[in-house]
Amino acid sequence: MSELLYSEVENDLRASVRDLLSDRSPWTAVLARTETDQPYDLALWRTLATELGLAGLLVPEELGGAGASAREVAVVLEELGRAVAPVPFLGSAVLATSALLAAGDAELLPELAAGNRTATLGVTYTTAPNAVFPASVHVHNGRLTGRIGSVVDLDVAEFVVVPAVGAAGPELHVVEVSSARVTPVVPLDLTRRISHLELDGVSGRLLATGDAAEQALRSALTTGAGLLAAEQLGLAQWCLDSTVDYAKTRYQFGRQIGSFQAIKHRLADLWAATSSALATSRAAASALATGEDVGVSVAVAAAYCSDVAVLAAEEALQLHGGIGMTWEHPVHLYLGRAKSSQLALGSPERHRAALATLIDLPA
């Protein structure tokens, strides 16, 4: 049975990330940034990547990374989710990095690990790990042409890892974003941006072909889905904590509203769901770290934590009453993130369908 508790090192890592985020990215700053032309906090991203060395957690030391595992990345994502921090960690340090690692890249990874460059994975953000290899981009004479809708963190990426179909089948390329057309989408989630990517005869650097390309993409999406669960967990915990605090300070009918069973029972259920989300997320991170039981652990965590995050954000809004419905309160940032993340990297339903095959419960 995998280790489901946090180690001391992981707790220290959490504390340093939380300190930085509470100092540099309070929700007031996140909210203020949403309607500017710089929705991402790139200065914060630089600090996370270079000073704390978090961009290279998954990258081996010989490529300039920290040689850590998915367990540490999960802890970072819990904190980023808790703060709905507007940084491209998921796209660059998780999705693109995992794809490059699986494809055996040694050129871009050191740059990503060092925080010199930012990248993302060129798939539609809703793509599930077991999806068929995307065929919307084609390769002719080494040049890529096609369109990929709704790519996460593309706005601030300098490189994008693109799955494409060549003469001999699946290929994976690294493309410079400056050579492509990027069209931002007005997002439901104000703290994480998506954009459409259009390639018109763009040259790329070939990373992998055939089975290797398919496997690298699947590996990146699996890692992404399993670790997104950690971000969803952190988001759910913030929603629970802030709502519990509010229920203790808000008075109606001469009592703290948290003394009414109509409120406290909902919060007790949410705490129980969040505790279970934590267990599934830890199991997925441990599975990704050890390579054991990855398929089932990731599918369970992704299916479970997606829904718990949405539940937590919706409960937070309802139990805050009118104030939760206002723009000036942060709960809508969490609701948008939670609902978008539910669709991301495979909806709960897609993960359950994947599970059906893995655990032999066919339709």
Partner 1 sequence: MTDLAAKVEAFLAEHPPAGADPIEFLRARFDAGLAWVHFPVGAGGLGAPRAAQFAVDEAFAAAGAPEAVPAAKVIGYGMAAPTILTFGTPEQHERFLRPLFTGEEVWCQLFSEPGAGSDLATLATRAVRDGDDWVVDGQKVWTSFAHAARWAILVARTDPTVPKHQGLSYFICDMNDAGVQVRPLRQITGEAEFNEVFLNAVRVPDAHRLGAVGEGWKVAQTTLMNERVAIGAHAAPREGGLIGVAARTWREHPELRTPGLHDRLLRLWVQAEALRLTSERLRQGLAVGQPGPEGSAAKLAFATINQAVSGFEVELQGEQGLAYEDWTMRRPLETDWASRDPGFRYLRTKGNSIEGGTSEILRNIIAERVLGLPREPRSDADVAWKDLPR
**Residues 21/78, Cβ–Cβ less than 8 Å:** no
Q: Which stretch binds partner 1 (CB under 8 A): 17-25, 28-36, 98-106, 258-266?
A: 258-266
Q: Would you state the structure tokens that stand for residue 334, as one six-digit string?
A: 């969490």
Query: Is 131 strand, coil or helix?
Result: coil
- Which residue's CB is nearer to partner 1, number 253 or number 328? 253
- Who contacts 36 (Cβ-Cβ below 8 Å, separation ≥6)? none
Within residues 297-326, the interface with partner 1 by CB under 8 A covers 300, 303-304
Phi and psi at residue 26, to the nearest 5°: -65, 160
CB of 45 to partner 1, least distance (A): 32
Q: Which pairs with CB-CB distance under 8 Å and at least 24 residues apart come from 31-39?
A: 31/327, 31/328, 31/330, 31/333, 33/86, 34/86, 34/190, 34/191, 34/333, 39/86, 39/155, 39/190, 39/191, 39/193
Q: Does 360 bind partner 1 (CB under 8 A)?
A: yes
CB of 1 to partner 1, least distance (A): 6
* Angle 196-199-203 from CA coordinates, rounded to 5°: 140
Q: Does 276 bind partner 1 (CB under 8 A)?
A: yes
Considering only 4, 32, 188, 325, the residue that binds partner 1 (CB under 8 A) is 4
Q: Does 265 bind partner 1 (CB under 8 A)?
A: yes
How many CB atoms neighbour CB 314 within 10 A?
18
Q: Does 110 bind partner 1 (CB under 8 A)?
A: no
Within residues 36-75, the interface with partner 1 by CB under 8 A covers none
Q: Does 259 bind partner 1 (CB under 8 A)?
A: yes
Q: Does 181 bind partner 1 (CB under 8 A)?
A: no
Q: Does 355 bind partner 1 (CB under 8 A)?
A: yes
Q: Does 279 bind partner 1 (CB under 8 A)?
A: yes
Q: Which stretch binds partner 1 (CB under 8 A): 34-42, 127-135, 173-181, 280-288?
A: 280-288
CB of 246 to partner 1, least distance (A): 11
The amino acid at 225: A
- Give the CB-side neighbour count of residue 66, counting CA atoms within 13 A: 20
**Size of the residue set binding partner 1 (CB under 8 A):** 43
Q: Which stretch binds partner 1 (CB under 8 A): 100-108, 110-118, 272-280, 320-328?
A: 272-280
Phi and psi at residue 139, to the nearest 5°: -115, 125
The amino acid at 125: Y
**Residues 286/3, Cβ–Cβ less than 8 Å:** yes
* Angle 17-120-236 from CA coordinates, rounded to 5°: 45
CB of 247 to partner 1, least distance (A): 6
CB of 294 to partner 1, least distance (A): 14
Q: Which stretch binds partner 1 (CB under 8 A): 55-63, 122-130, 145-153, 351-359?
A: 351-359
Site for partner 1, rule CB under 8 A = 1, 3-5, 244, 247-248, 255-256, 258-261, 263-265, 267-269, 271-272, 275-280, 282-283, 296, 300, 303-304, 349, 352-353, 355-356, 359-363
